[in-house]
Structure 1
Amino acid sequence: MKTHIAGSDATSIRLRGRDLVEELIGKHGFTEVLYLLTCGRLPTPGEARVLDACLVTLMDHGWTPTSLIARLAYDSAPGQAQVGIAAGLLAVGDVFAGTMDGCARLLAEGIDKSDKVAWCREVVQAHRTLRKPIPGFGHPFHKPDDPRPPRLFRVAAECGVQGHHIALLRALGEAVDAGYGRHLTINATGAIAALLLEIGMPVSIMRGIAVVSRSGGLAGHLVEEQQTHAAREIWRITDEHIPYEDPPA
């Protein structure tokens, strides 16, 4: 068994066949090298810009489970930034920040269907029958529309991506609205799923991309936590508003 990701000896470090010191440091940005490690090659300038836009989009969203958990964990282990960040990242999942992989699986399934309109209707009906949310649609705060997807789609267009997965996502959005009888926004993770598919990112690592992105936002929260100690206020408010009571007899 061998690894093609990275290796080192006494005088050099190599990543995916490239010398870290001579070929990457100072010549390629973080986003480009992330693409290199996950996709096996350096991205085109357009691909790098699309991936960078996705990373920026999910970096932070204010008070969410990821930021709350990170701050509370850091308050329990002050000075251990890795504890707070790791704890917060465990909340990236099927509800918050991590639904792009579910949406991407749907789009990857539907992209080769000959009748995409019929496929979209079938997807909506199947999810309605099972009472399951359709990944990539809806948002608890951004209504009627999430402001991030239109900007992401513009970036993709400016970068010259083919747009087939984006078109399928929009068609699915029309089927969602028709099937539910009301408008459900394409959310940021849905748009990111389409964009990452457009640039060849494996579906299996897309939630990992969310983790990479959100870790940057959590670093910011921990810097602020060091200054404000908001976790103690969160604890106090929780204690005041969710009091203990003995269970009913």
Structure 2
Amino acid sequence: MTERYGEPSVGDVADWWRTSVTRIAPGVVEHRGVPVQDLIGHTDLVSAAWLLVRGDRPTPGQARLLEAALVGSMDHGPQAPSIAVARMAATCGIGINNAMASAVNTLGDSHGGAGEQCVELLAEVVAAGGAPAAREVVAAWRERSPYLPGFGHRFHPRDPRRDPLLALVARACDAGDVAGEHLAAALAVEDALAEGRPRPVPMNIDGATAVIYAELGFPPPLARGFFVLSRSIGILAHAWEESGSGRRNKGPMPPSILPSYGDRP
């Protein structure tokens, strides 16, 4: 190995995990160059998360927007697969960290990925010329898939989280904290989807938070990352509640209900 790579030095080893996120030394913990003791008691968790991920500080208005997105996505009850998995796992004799990990691992493209995909959609609309290009972009997306991420909801005719989140974005636009391009793009997509329909197809929580993440300049993968961070709070709450139920090996259905047997239609 040394013939191929040369003799490793202490510097080679130290540079192996080189990072600008956190510096650790005896008696020292710094996040992005800021001593942790200067953050504790002076910086809220959302602003600290922004600092750690982005390396700079949000304005108060930007921090409020990010916090609102995280609050809006925390939980949607046991009908959400991630929450159901957390509760089932908690009855299987594993630790709460294992229950949370089991639940987080269900947050994929279909359950948990719509926010990331919607940021990509909105970015495409903005890149194509903004709101006037929405119909064209929607048509192109529909050629690839009948599903448009971030719009419509299987339970809510109008997602109760849409209006307050978008109102906060509009307020942030007026204050100059965000530009508003992605908000305009999302509203234009809503209008395009409503054409020819007896009922509109409003944004859901994934669409509304995608507007926020896009307006704040987060790349699409970070929209999913922040959704996972937010939903982990609900996962924790449900796993903890279920762990106190006294039930063991709780399955997806009550024992009195058996799954149908036979070929799937």
| TM-score, length of structure 2 as denominator length | 0.84
Counterpart for residue 87 of structure 2: 71
Counterpart for residue 192 of structure 1: 209
* Alpha-carbon distance change, 236 to 158 in structure 1, aligned in 2, over 3 angstroms: closer
- Structure 1 residue 39, shift from structure 2 partner: 1.5
Cα deviation, 1:88-112, whole Å, max 9, x if unaligned, reads: 1122233333311101011112213
Which one has a larger percent helix, Structure 1 or Structure 2? 1
**Equivalent residue in structure 2 for 1:206, among 223, 248, 251:** 223
Counterpart for residue 29 of structure 1: 44
- Could you tell me which amino acid in structure 2 is paired with residue 48 of structure 1? A
Instruction: Kindly indicate whether the alpha-carbon contact (under 8 Å) linking 1:71 and 1:231 is maintained by their aligned counterparts in 2.
Output: no
Bigger Rg over Cα: 2
Q: Sequence identity, in percent?
A: 33
- Could you tell me which amino acid in structure 2 is paired with residue 12 of structure 1? V
- Could you tell me which amino acid in structure 2 is paired with residue 84 of structure 1? A
Counterpart for residue 154 of structure 1: 167
User: Paired residues, what number?
Assistant: 243
Question: How far apart, in 2, do the equivalents of 1:184 and 1:236 lie?
Answer: 32
Say if 2:112 is the partner of 1:97: yes
Q: Secondary structure at 1:141's aligned position in 2?
A: coil
* Alpha-carbon distance change, 184 to 236 in structure 1, aligned in 2, over 3 angstroms: closer
- Could you tell me which amino acid in structure 2 is paired with residue 223 of structure 1? W
Q: Secondary structure at 1:76's aligned position in 2?
A: coil
- Structure 1 residue 158, shift from structure 2 partner: 3.0
- Could you tell me which amino acid in structure 1 is paired with residue 30 of structure 2? R
Q: Secondary structure at 1:138's aligned position in 2?
A: coil
Q: Secondary structure at 2:239's aligned position in 1?
A: helix
Q: Secondary structure at 1:71's aligned position in 2?
A: helix
Question: How far apart, in 1, do the equivalents of 2:261 and 2:109 lie?
Answer: 32
Question: How far apart, in 1, do the equivalents of 2:219 and 2:261 lie?
Answer: 49
The two structures, once aligned, show a CA RMSD in angstroms of 2.3
Q: Secondary structure at 1:93's aligned position in 2?
A: coil
* Structure 1: stretches of 5+ with no match in the other structure: none
- Could you tell me which amino acid in structure 1 is paired with residue 77 of structure 2? G
Counterpart for residue 13 of structure 1: 29
1:131-150 matched pairs, under 5 angstroms: 131-143=145-157, 145-150=158-163
Question: How far apart, in 2, do the equivalents of 1:222 and 1:181 lie?
Answer: 40
- Could you tell me which amino acid in structure 1 is paired with residue 168 of structure 2? V
* Structure 2: stretches of 5+ with no match in the other structure: 1-14
- Structure 1 residue 132, shift from structure 2 partner: 2.9
Say if 2:136 is the partner of 1:122: yes
Counterpart for residue 245 of structure 2: 228
Question: How far apart, in 2, do the equivalents of 1:210 and 1:116 lie?
Answer: 26
- Could you tell me which amino acid in structure 2 is paired with residue 121 of structure 1? R
